[in-house]
Amino acid sequence: MSAATMIMRTLIPAAVGAIALLQPAWAEPAAEVRVTYSNGQFQPGVVSAPVDKPVVIHVRNLDAKALEFESTSLRVEKVVAAQSEVIVNVRALKPGRYEFYDDFNDKARGALVVE
Amino acid sequence: MLCGAGATRAEDASSWREIETKYIFGFTTGSGIGLEGEKEFTVDSVGRFGKRDGHYAATETKYEFEFTPSQFVQIEFGALGSTHNIGGMTDLDGRNQAAFAGGFAEFRYLAVERTSNNPLSVTLAIEPTVRLIDETSGVRVRNYEFETTVNADFELLKNRLYAGLNLLYEPEATRTATDGTLREAKFGGSAALAVRLAPNFLLGGEVWYLRHYDSPTLSDFTGDAVMAGPTLYVQFTRKMFMTAAWNAQVWGREVGNSSPLNLSEFQRHRARLKFAYEF
Q: How confident is the model at residue A31 (pLDDT cuts 50, 70, 90)?
A: very high
Report if residue A109 sits inside a domain.
yes
CATH code of the domain in which A73 resides: 2.60.40.420
Asked whether the bond before A44 is cis by omega within 30 degrees of 0, the reply is yes
Q: Which CATH architecture has domain B12-274?
A: Beta Barrel (2.40)
Between CA A47 and CA B150 the distance in angstroms is 34
Residue B37 to residue A90, Cβ atoms within 8 A: no
Q: Is residue A7 predicted with pLDDT exceeding 90?
A: no
Nearest by Cα to B232 from B201, B211, B254:
B201
Report if residue A13 sits inside a domain.
no
In SS3 terms, A26-65 reads as HHCCCEEEEEEEECCEEECCEEEECCCCCEEEEEEECCCC
List the single residue in A4, A76, A98 with the smallest CB-CB distance to B36: A76
Report if residue A87 sits inside a domain.
yes
Q: Which residues contact B267 (CB under 8 A, 6 or more apart)?
A: B48, B49, B50, B51, B56, B249
Would you tell me how many other CB atoms lie within 10 Å of the CB of residue B151? 27
Question: CA geometry: angle at B165 spanning B162 and B171, to 5°?
Answer: 150
pLDDT in tens, B218-253: 999 999 999 999 999 999 998 999 999 999 999 999
Residues 56-85 of chain A whose Cβ lies under 8 A from any Cβ of chain B: 70-78
Mean of pLDDT over chain A: 85
Question: CA geometry: angle at B31 spanning B29 and B34, to 5°?
Answer: 105
Report the share of chain B in percent with pLDDT over 90: 91
Q: In degrees rounded to 5, what are phi and psi of residue B63? A: -105, 105
pLDDT in tens, A39-68: 999 999 999 999 999 999 999 999 999 999
Domain span at residue A42 reads: 28-114
Report if residue A50 sits inside a domain.
yes
Exposure b/e, A72-85, CB count within 10 A at least 16 = b: bbbbbbbebeeeee
What are the CA-CA distances from residue B273 to residues A6, B27, B30, B232, B244 (Å)? 32, 10, 16, 10, 5
- Chain A, nearest residue to B110 by Cα: A18
Task: Tell me which H or E stretch contains B238.
Answer: none
Total domain count for chain A? 1
The answer to whether the CB of B206 falls within 8 A of the CB of B226 is no
Report if residue A6 sits inside a domain.
no
Report if residue A12 sits inside a domain.
no
